[in-house]
A = this chain, B = another copy of it.
Amino acid sequence: MGRTGDTRERIVRTSARLLLSRSYGSVSVDDVCTAADVRKGSFYHFFPSKAELAKAVVDLHTDALIDRLAATSGESAAARLHGVADAVGAIQARFESTFGRVVGCPFGNLAAELSTVDDALRDHLASAFARWEREFAVICHRAQQDGALRDGVDPDRLAHSLLAHTQGQILLAKVGGHSAADVATTLHDLIDVHLREGAV
């Protein structure tokens, strides 16, 4: 075996930061290399292309998100639903304090920019979103079993709706210059209208 280092990880983490602060198109491989203090040859030793780097960044965020959702607990399913909104709010708040403003969702940003440009990356993002939605759906189904959902509310549709709302809300906050706290608030509102009155 040859030597071992943290170069690859440094590249991914640095890219994650740069991709949040700007767009995929405006972040060059040279930018990444400079910021990560890595020579370009090393970059292409680990990644066959810039697009593959983007996938790695998506994976990084996916893992982080799943971890945080797993840590989200609450007595009732209804409370766990609100916990999801809190998790999203917390992540966005961290980004906001790091970059000084809402910079968007790591998945949503890449999805909007590259879904029509790179099919492989779109697939990758679709999988990430699907996984995310499945996590939501599990909680929504439990909420329904608990009788916390309003009549006629389909748990799968609610999960999808929740995800869409999250994406849209973050996007609007990003372009409108709103705060991460507002994102969480409107998310809580959406959950409330789907819950039976009095449910906790």
User: Once the chains bind, are A164 and B165 in contact (CB under 8 Å)?
Assistant: yes
Does A103 have its Cβ within 8 Å of any Cβ on chain B?
yes
Whole-angstrom CA separation of A24 from B117 in the bound complex: 10
User: Once the chains bind, are B25 and A25 in contact (CB under 8 Å)?
Assistant: yes
Does A141 have its Cβ within 8 Å of any Cβ on chain B?
no
Does A115 have its Cβ within 8 Å of any Cβ on chain B?
yes
User: Once the chains bind, are B113 and A23 in contact (CB under 8 Å)?
Assistant: yes
Query: In the assembled complex, which residues on chain B have CB atoms less than 8 Å from the CB atom of A115?
Result: 104, 174-175
State how many residues of chain A have any CB contact under 8 Å with chain B: 46
Pick from B104, B166, B193: contact of A168, CB under 8 Å? B166
Pick from B117, B126, B167, B186: contact of A22, CB under 8 Å? B117
User: Once the chains bind, are A130 and B176 in contact (CB under 8 Å)?
Assistant: yes
User: Once the chains bind, are B22 and A157 in contact (CB under 8 Å)?
Assistant: no
Does A69 have its Cβ within 8 Å of any Cβ on chain B?
no
User: Once the chains bind, are B112 and A108 in contact (CB under 8 Å)?
Assistant: yes
User: Once the chains bind, are A126 and B157 in contact (CB under 8 Å)?
Assistant: no
List A residues at the B interface (Cβ < 8 Å): 20-26, 103-104, 108-109, 111-117, 122, 125-126, 129-130, 150, 153, 157, 160-161, 163-169, 171-172, 174-177, 186, 189-190, 193-194
- Shortest 9 CB-CB contacts between residues of A and residues of B: A25-B25, A168-B168, A112-B112, A164-B168, A167-B168, A111-B175, A164-B169, A113-B113, A115-B175
